[in-house]
């Protein structure tokens, strides 16, 4: 019972930090270190990392047809982001965001990859501006690493801005998520969905 209470207290601490501001969250979680990335997806100067979320979810595809045959078309991501931190002897895992496709109101409803804070509901929409499959960084059978530019943002209803301060997002350390090589080869397959498991780390940046 004592251990359970201590874990609950630790979770409450991080929830309040995440709800208040990105700077508070970084103070609780500690500094964020970005791994080396290919030069083609480097974040532009003038931006600094403030948050890392480790994601577990699926990359979703639909089977479609064309004049030349059948193919898996990417539809949307669906994932949950977590942070890990220590409070005394305890290792805590806390959900911080969800990731999905939604209309960006700043662009008149254009569908964009979306990250929404789980505590303060602040939200950002992004557009991939660079990618890399460099085998020196990206694992085989893994989706590319990405540099995503934030093209829309909103604070949460209570003014929370955990994510809405973001300017860029990195998708790195990917595993899985690649479209299937089978299951989309005939008219009977058209419309079939494939929810392919993946993991990745998302790093969020803001202007200095």
What is the distance between the alpha carbons of residues 199 and 139, in angstroms, rounded to a whole number? 12
126 with 148: CB under 8 angstroms?
yes
Could you tell me if 95 and 81 are in contact, meaning their C-beta atoms sit under 8 angstroms apart? Answer: yes
Q: What is the pLDDT of residues 95-126, one digit of tens each?
A: 999 999 999 999 999 999 999 999 999 999 99
Give Cα 205 distance to the centre of its chain: 12
Q: How far apart are CA 41 and CA 207, in angstroms?
A: 17
Tens digit of each residue's pLDDT (9 = 90 or more) over 45-66: 999 999 999 999 999 999 999 9
| pLDDT (0 to 100) of residue 25 | 53
Decide if pLDDT at 22 tops 60.
no
Look up the pTM and report it: 0.88
Q: Angle formed by the axes of helices 2-20 and 22-29, to 10°?
A: 140
Q: Which of 207, 203, 174 is nearest to 33 (CA)?
A: 203
CA nearest to 125, candidates 113, 108, 107: 113
Instruction: For residue 2, name the pLDDT band (cuts at 50, 70, 90).
Output: very low
Phi, psi (degrees; rounded to nearest 5) at 106? -70, -25
Tokens of 136: 């020196």
Residue 84 token pair: 């890990």
Residue 139: what are its φ and ψ, rounded to 5°?
A: -65, 150
CB 156 within 8 A of CB 116: no
Cα gap 197→195, rounded to integer Å: 6
**Has residue 21 got a pLDDT over 60?**
no
Please name the residue that has the structure tokens 């630790």: 10
How many alpha carbons fall within 13 Å on the CB side of residue 121? 4
């Amino acid at each position: 019972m004592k251990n359970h209470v201590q874990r609950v207290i630790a979770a409450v601490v991080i929830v309040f930090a995440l709800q208040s501001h990105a700077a508070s969250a970084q103070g609780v979680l500690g500094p964020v270190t970005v791994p080396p990335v290919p030069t083609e997806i480097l974040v532009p100067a003038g931006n600094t990392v403030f948050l890392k979320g480790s994601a577990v979810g699926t990359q979703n595809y639909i089977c479609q047809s064309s004049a030349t045959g059948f193919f898996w078309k990417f539809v949307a991501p669906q994932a949950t982001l977590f942070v890990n931190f220590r409070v005394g002897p305890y290792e805590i895992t806390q959900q911080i965001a969800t990731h999905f496709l939604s209309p960006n109101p700043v662009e008149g409803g254009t569908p964009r990859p979306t990250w929404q804070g789980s505590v303060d509901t602040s939200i950002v929409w992004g557009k991939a501006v660079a990618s890399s499959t460099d085998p020196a960084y990206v694992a085989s059978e893994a989706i590319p690493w990405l540099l995503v530019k934030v093209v829309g943002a909103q604070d949460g209803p209570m003014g929370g801005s955990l994510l809405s301060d973001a300017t860029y997002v990195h998708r790195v350390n990917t595993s899985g998520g690649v479209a299937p090589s089978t299951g989309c080869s005939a008219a009977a397959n058209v419309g079939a969905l494939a929810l392919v498991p993946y993991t990745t780390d998302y790093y969020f940046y803001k202007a200095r």
